[in-house]
Amino acid sequence: MLDWFTGIVGYDGSRLRVGRWVELSADGEIRREWERAVPVEGSYRSTLLVGRVGPTEDMRRAAPLLGLRCPPMSVWVSGNPTKWLQGHNVYGPSVTQLAPTIHDVIRSLPEPMRPGDADDPRGAAFHRARVDVAVSIALGSDALVHEWLGAAEHGTRSRHGRAQRSGSTVYWGQHSRRWSMKAYCKFCELKDHPPAESFDELRLFAEGLLRLELTLRTPELKPRGTLEDEIVFEYWEKVVIGVIDQEPRSMGERIASYDLPTGAKVTLDAWLHGSPQLRGSLPDRTWYHYRRLILEKVGVDISLAPAKETPSIKRAGFDVAFLRSRWVKEVPTHLQPTLFKPTRRQDRKYSARP
C-alpha cells in the first residue's frame, strides 16, 4: 500500500494561502522572507503539509510530450495520503495507484488550499521526492511479531550497517538519502494512534501483523516508472545480510534475550508459568511499570491470563519466501467500506471524498 508521498504535483498553486518565513535585522527591518508549507487538516483529523514551488526541469520537459498540466507555480505536498483519504493506514490503496490517489488528495483539499484547477480531468506532471510503500505480514500473534523484531534487531544488516532500534521499531538505513526500511508491530502502533472510526474492527484485523515499510527517495525513484507493492521484498533482500539463528530456544533463553530489567524478566517468567499471586506480590507502581515494559518489548499483556494471550512462541523466518507466504494482500469484505478506492480518470470532475 501507499503510505507516504512527498513531491510536486502539476496543479496551479498560485492562489494557495501559504505561510512565510521572515528574517529580521537587529533593528527590526526585514532582511529577507520566503514561503513555507503549512499544515492542512482533513476531515479525518489527519494532516498534510501543503505549499507551492516551481516545477522541476523534468516536469517541464515531460508535460508537453505527454499532454500533462505543469503550471509555473505548482503544488508541493507531503504526508500520508492513505490516512488523509480514509482515516487510517491499516491497509489502503496500492502504490500502483499513486497518481490517481494523489490527484484525489489534491481535489479533497479544503478552501483556501484547493487549487483552482483541482477538478480539471487532465493528468498532471509529477515529481516524486519520497514514496513510502508498506506491506503487512501475518505472523499469527503480537508476541511473535515482537520476537521477530528482537531477532531482527540483533541478527540483520544492510549496506548501511547493523539494524537500529527505537522503542518497538527496527530501522535499516534510517538516515539514508536513497532508501531505508523499518519494521514494527502494527497492532501496537494502532493502539497508540487509534483512528476516529472503526477502531474495534481495525484492531481485530491488525492483531498479529508485522508491518514492513520501505522509504524510497529521489535518487532511487528517478530511474523507476510505476512502483509496485512487491518492491518492498526486492529491497528486503538487500537487508538480510546478517546470519539469523533459526534454532528454537527454551523459554528461559527467550526471556533472557529480551531488553527488560531483571525484575520485569522475573515477573514475565512468573506470569508465563501461571503464578496466581503475581498481581498481589508487587506494589501497584511496579506492577504497572513492568506491565508497560513487557507489553512494549514482548507484546504480551500480563494483566490477562497466559492461555488467552500467549501462543506457542517460535522463531519466525526472515527469508523472502517466508514473508511472501504470509503477506496480507486482501481486505475482508466487511472492511471494504473503510478502504478508499481512487477515483477513475473519467470521474475526476467529481469530489474525491467518500
**Distance spanning both ends of the chain, measured CA to CA:** 19
Contact 201, 336 (CB under 8 A): no
Q: What is the pLDDT of residues 130-171, one digit of tens each?
A: 999 999 999 988 888 988 888 888 778 787 888 888 888 999
Residue 9: pLDDT over 80? yes
- What pLDDT was estimated at residue 240? 76
Residue 291: pLDDT over 50? yes
Contact 134, 121 (CB under 8 A): no
Burial call 73-89: b when 16+ CB within 10 Å, e when fewer? ebbbbebbbbbbbbbbb
Q: What is the pLDDT of residues 227-255, one digit of tens each?
A: 999 999 999 988 876 544 444 456 676 67
CA distances from 113 to 12, 19, 75, 108 (A): 11, 11, 10, 10
Cα separation, 137 vs 316, in Å, equals 11
Residue extents of the structural domains in the chain: 2-19+32-244+321-333, 251-309
Residue 71: pLDDT over 50? yes
| Average pLDDT in the chain | 84
Cis peptide before 112 (omega within 30 of 0): yes
- What pLDDT was estimated at residue 354? 29
Where helices occur in 179-241 by DSSP H, the ranges are 186-192, 199-206, 218-221, 231-239
Please give the share of the chain, as a percent, with pLDDT higher than 90.
Answer: 46
Q: What is the pLDDT of residues 90-146, one digit of tens each?
A: 999 999 999 999 999 999 999 889 999 998 888 899 999 999 999 999 998 888 898
Residues with Cβ < 8 Å from 79, sequence gap 6 or more? 4, 5, 6, 46, 47, 48, 49
| Mean pLDDT within 326-337 | 92
Q: What are phi and psi of 112, to 5 degrees?
A: -95, 25
What is the band of 306 on the pLDDT scale with cuts at 50, 70, 90?
low
| Mean pLDDT within 298-312 | 59
| Mean pLDDT within 274-301 | 78
Residue 260: pLDDT over 80? yes
Contact 211, 183 (CB under 8 A): yes
CA distances from 239 to 134, 175, 212 (A): 15, 15, 12
Residue 345: pLDDT over 70? no
Residue 30: pLDDT over 50? yes
- What pLDDT was estimated at residue 275? 72
Residue 299: pLDDT over 60? yes
Q: What is the pLDDT of residues 183-234, one digit of tens each?
A: 999 999 998 888 888 889 999 999 999 999 999 999 999 999 899 999 999 9
| Mean pLDDT within 9-32 | 86
The C-alpha cell at 77 is 505536498
- What pLDDT was estimated at residue 277? 65
